[in-house]
Chains A and B, each alone.
Chain A
Amino acid sequence: MAALHDTTLAAPGLPARRRRSGAWRQALPGYLFLAPWLAGFFLLTLGPTLVSLYLSFTDFDLLRSPQWVGGANYERIFSSDPKFWASVGVTLSYVVLSVPLKLGFALAIAMWLNRGIAGLGLYRAIFYLPSLLGGSVAVAILWKQVFGYDGLVNQLLWLVFGVNGPSWISNPETSLYTLVLLSVWQFGSPMIIFLAGLRQIPRDLYEAASIDGASRRQQLTKITLPLLAPVIFFNLVLQTIEAFKAFTPAFIISGGTGGPVDSVLFYTLYLYQQGFAYFRMGYASALAWILLLTIAAFTALAFLSQRYWVHYEDDPR
């Protein structure tokens, strides 16, 4: 295909217009096959995103047409909305707790699987399973049972220690941690990526190191982690974005309220409440744009930090 393309373009003596239409003909099937995706992207993603930017400067309750209010929504969010700050606090705690724990856990399991144990495929599948199920409504409901008043956790506590545990999920002091655990439990996809990364590290490096008398710990910090840095970076960015966007478990477990006492009022949940429970679509759009910009800022920060800790093999530095 590429070769065909070149000859068409390079064909001498053809008038420019013919040439261009020829190129267009070449590209047409490509665009046609892309059409469903392109239509989806423009109509369902880009269009609504831009509309929401406009709506964020309006007062819009779905029933009446949007009224332009300038920056009033943003002003109110930052100056007089205690719930906004509460939801920011909850979300940041969740990101800061769940991302490192999840990545650490995923890396530990990946390293354990990488030691060439028998039945690797089976283990890999089993460990990946929670990631397939994790974001679903069913698992959030299951979690509610596990950490509920008569849940599995409390039954174990009773059997093993003879103590009656509280209802972890409906206690403002513990509810967020149950959701962090739920997130860590879905370590499968970063684990798979870590495993692939570990496979890329040449065996002979370890052989050479152990001949030179390097300890396991030294091998980890001097070989594994530096060579795995690009993969760690990739997982970090991806999981941070995921954590900022978390919604389903908090929604199911709190019944959409973010309670008790706003303890699991995730940012996205608060955004949903403003939009779909209180019908303040303009306000909710402003919240959505703040989230978008925050995620972009965190991602940019991660990319900027790369030069200090991420080294690529083909990097001339």
Chain B
Amino acid sequence: MAKTVSRRDALRLGALIAAPAILTLAGLPVSAQAGRLRISWWGGADRAKRTQAAIDAFKSRNAGLDIVPESVGWDAYWTKLATQVAGGNPPDIIQMDYRYLPEYARRGALRPLDDLIPSVIDPSDYVPSVIEAGKIDGKQYGIPMGMNSDVLLYDKTMLDKLGLPAPTPEMSWAEFTTLGENITKKANKRGYFGAADPSVMEPELEYWVLTRGRTLYDASGRLGFTRDDAESWLALCAEMRAKGAIAPADIAATDKITIDSDLLTTGRAAITFTNSNQIVGYQAANKSKIGMAFHPKGEKPGEYLKPSMMLCVSASAADPKAAAALIDFMVLKPDGAKLLGVERGVSPSAKVRELLAADLDETGRLQVDHLSALSKRGPAPLPPAPPKGAAEVTALIRQAAEKTGFKQLTPKQAADQLVSEAERVLSKA
């Protein structure tokens, strides 16, 4: 071993150690950079394939433009996005949900697109209420990619096999319960039930309160429903559970509200509750043929046209015009829109809907038909965007459902607890 280490040796050694670190740093995504667009979305494998195809098509039309895609699942997406925004390293194009749009827009993380409309993006033939949903404080931050609605999906193959009818648009909750009971009885398979447990799902409570003329949240971010609304819903689900029409609590607990863990996919139920555009993913994950139906009817309409997801441009995008052009290509240009199809919902643009109508596959046609039937029948108005703290309320809704499901609380007790805890969460959020 050398007795002493010269400065030069030290330098060499240092370089040797530092080199990999520097190389690693060079490979990290660097924030806003001209000639390079980063686009980020949540979703599964099918969505990634379609989006990549649209990106490639856009790249081939814009030589010299580099586009970096980033995609993860729903839960991880919001963690990642918040971290990227906090770290000053947000993607240029951000797929956004209606529920998070106000938070990001009001904190200055997004760039208003009004100056690029209609020169770069022209959504003039959009369904008015849907393009309106992308506006915050009068400015257009989000361009909706598609429309969907809360629906029932059912295992058509199974219902045919059992000789039972599909859920009908005018069905009442009592008839739905009977259908569920019949499926459970006729299928006669351990651990197989008529329907998934809707009470663990936040959108289903929303459906219930909408049919009673209320909303989950009001425009000022307070709770929009009463103890009575929650109690009647939990009691209805308890009754369906007791009759064996829906899955019991220990099976419902395995439903993590993803396509893969859904009771329809795991072979535990014939009917489930989800968003209409998800039928693409459900059909891809299930061997049986999947059908789409309306919810059991309530006093007032409870289904509405939702902007399924939007595209936004980051406030720090180096080239907002190029970002807007890519958005336009994906949602409004025939070539791009065709590649994306209806996997993110039915286009809010009449022109694009018509264009896609020609070569829709089964799942696409079901969506389009369902949404036009909903438009005819009269959808509920778009409810206000959920306030900060809504994620915690979603967890409380599930908690209340589980506590009634496992018979730890009566529907009344669980409803009381849900409403008081939710009010506490919203008041301090």
Contacts and interface: CB of A to CB of B under 8 A. Distances in A.
Given A63-B85, A171-B406, 11 more contacts: A22-B4, A26-B4, A29-B13, A32-B13, A149-B191, A171-B253, A255-B256, A257-B256, A259-B253, A261-B408, A262-B399
B67 interface: no
B1 A1 contact: yes
Contacts of B261: 255
B5 A260 contact: no
Interface string A220-264: 000000000000000000000000000000000001110111100
A149 B86 contact: no
A167 B263 CA distance: 14
Interface residues of A, number: 37
B61 interface: no
Contacts of A25: 4-5
Given A28-B10, A164-B190, A261-B399, A63 B254 contact: no
Given A29-B13, A32-B14, A167 B253 contact: yes
Interface string B373-397: 0000000000000000101100100
Contacts of B5: 25, 28-29
B109 interface: yes
Nearest to A149: B191
B252 to A, nearest CB: 8
B402 interface: yes
A62 B85 contact: yes
B253 A64 contact: no
A104 interface: no
Interface of A: 1, 4, 22, 25-26, 28-29, 32, 35-36, 39, 61-64, 148-150, 164, 166-167, 169-172, 255-257, 259-262, 273, 276-279
Interface in B1-40: 1, 3-5, 10, 13-14, 17, 21
Contacts of A64: 107
B17 A259 contact: no
A170 B251 contact: yes
Contacts of A260: 249-250, 253, 402, 405-406
A26 B2 CA distance: 10
Interface of B: 1, 3-5, 10, 13-14, 17, 21, 75, 79, 82-83, 85-86, 103-104, 107, 109, 190-191, 249-251, 253-254, 256, 258, 261, 268, 389, 391-392, 395, 398-399, 402-403, 405-406, 408
Contacts of B249: 260
Contacts of B109: 63
B398 A259 contact: yes
B403 A261 contact: yes
Contacts of B254: 148-149, 167, 169-170
Contact of B251 (A26, A36, A167, A276): A167
A154 to B, nearest CB: 10
A62 B395 contact: no
Contacts of B3: 4
A273 B21 CA distance: 32
Give the most central of B251, B268, B391, B395: most A CB within 10 Å: B395
Contacts of B406: 171-172, 260-261
A28 B7 CA distance: 10
A149 B402 contact: no
A257 B398 contact: yes
Contacts of B13: 29, 32
B82 A279 contact: yes
8 contacts: A32-B13, A32-B17, A167-B254, A169-B254, A172-B408, A261-B408, A262-B399, A273-B395
A279 to B, nearest CB: 6
Nearest to A4: B3
B24 to A, nearest CB: 12
A171 B250 contact: yes
A62 B103 CA distance: 11
Contact of A170 (B83, B104, B250, B391): B250
Contacts of B398: 257, 259
Nearest to B1: A1
Nearest to B428: A76
A30 to B, nearest CB: 10
A172 B408 CA distance: 10
Contacts of B403: 261
A85 to B, nearest CB: 14
Contact of A63 (B14, B103, B250): B103
